[in-house]
A and B are shown apart, each in its own frame.
Chain A
């Protein structure tokens, strides 16, 4: 089976999963107590007014009609209207998406940049100070809750030292890049970096620690294998033995973990976003849940679910590309 065919099949499977997410998210509204009308209608609304609101929101229809309506709408990227602001839910959800993706990717970049070299240093200097330092760091990193880390970074680095802003997002990545061509200035990117650094570190620390440990143990495992000895026996420079041979095989399983984690970061940044008032999907979902704004909740959850599926499909393709032993079945 070719890679293309494999990807097509994985994509179809992915669509099926997304449909499952949509259905589950839709059902959620019917199993939670309280009608959305309670939150939309004024407290003293007459039964007639409530009925009219329900009809307007389509809530008077049988459940399967509402379901089919919702599915049909989704196919046209219509997620309904926010109960609170009456704006299209899809627009609000997608407006938040870039911030979330930026943060997830930045956290992943932080993780990759720090964890893989740390893991390699640790493995190649086993039982030496550098190894103890790296394993110590990863133990601390894995055990630190990120709400605490975020607050501490804000207190120490932002408030005391004043190096970075305490929160919010002043500019998006894409507008910042556009500034480079249009105005020829790097100022936009600098501002973007200043705002995203602390949230990315906060979100990426656990991830960094995890990948450091995986890289270390994977690398130790690979370095003990016979092919490493054979590579040394033929006189290959140690750099190539370590990075071209051992690290390559170490990274194969790590890429899977990276993909899974990137997927969870898209939905799992809620706490970090809250600490830094980062305008991503996480804060949107929290606000929407607090106000029972169902179209927003549903839309966000579907986008998060779809993001997870898409990232994992891409990672599976990448994995098959990197690892020649994978048979696309």
Chain B
């Protein structure tokens, strides 16, 4: 944590893997997989070092990096008008997201062993995606954030389009179109902010927007702020996804390979929540308050809509996709509550759903690998042949439906705790979602594992050794957060204080 380019090294470390991979012959399957896996480790180790040092009392500010990059425009009073710097830095929230990304990347690299073809290209894109994701959370600057944000789109497009299932191309295109439109809207917001304030540094923007008499290049009206916040809501709402912008996400979750869905559901969707909390809430606190009710309503709609749709799906992947929509509703509920409990719940849900979705999609991959279907009606009685996998699937479902002792409960509980304080009636409507979550998850999971098998699954083997690694790590983390939530809440304290100060609560 002492040396100068710690964060840059962390963010760009997967590039070393890409470099090594480019010199390897295409046919060396196991070597390529090994390099792909190893290349994710430096980021993991470095992020864990940062986490534990922070828990031990070290300050995160010493990690910040700043290198001058582009300057232009000059005025007598203000000096250099526009400057874009290469700035990396962390706070509690982004540190947690960074650790989550690094952990899930390593686990997804292990899960990538199920990939059947063209490992070289796959792992190069995979590592590039990791760079993008790490960068998104480490960027201290909106323009840098946007660049990393775009970096995540391109590898994901190819990873879905080339290594996915039957309708992979369609899924990849709808992913790209939706997210491309989303990031175009985001770019507009960033450019307006940049043009009016002359800076794109997040902290400087927060200060400029909350100051009574800020030094701006050009004035920003209240309407403009509201417009920008709504644009941000759309941009990140596509990512999250918020009803009714969700249909691309269902397609991606069904068609993409399991290892990519792990990352997609685990990290990429969370960029939406991250952006909403950090930029939406951080830069436009006053406007955010006036939208809080809308967000909470959208959250409840998301929660119920996803839950009811998950209830009638026949494909387990579809169930999980709609369940993701439903669970992102809880993030919105927490954000909409706009008090400590709610926001903390939302952040917890971001992490918790990341872990749980990764676990469930990995297990879907394990099943699919063996029986070539994820259709509930074709499965059944799998607990007989694959008791361990079935047990973990049940554990994942329990975590997802918010069983105490697992991370899902803590986040769900806090989000609802927050909302009940502000809007009890809406929250009470939302609790129907808690029941429905149990209904659709048990229907799906018991449909797969319990009862009579619909066809003969003779010769189906249980989990192999390497498959235990991601499952055990994920279950371990889920239980850890569920039993001892301070691992998350303590690093978040200062971030939450900052946010609450901005809101004025």
Q: Do A and B come from one complex?
A: no
Interface positions of A (Cβ within 8 A of B): none
Interface positions of B (Cβ within 8 A of A): none
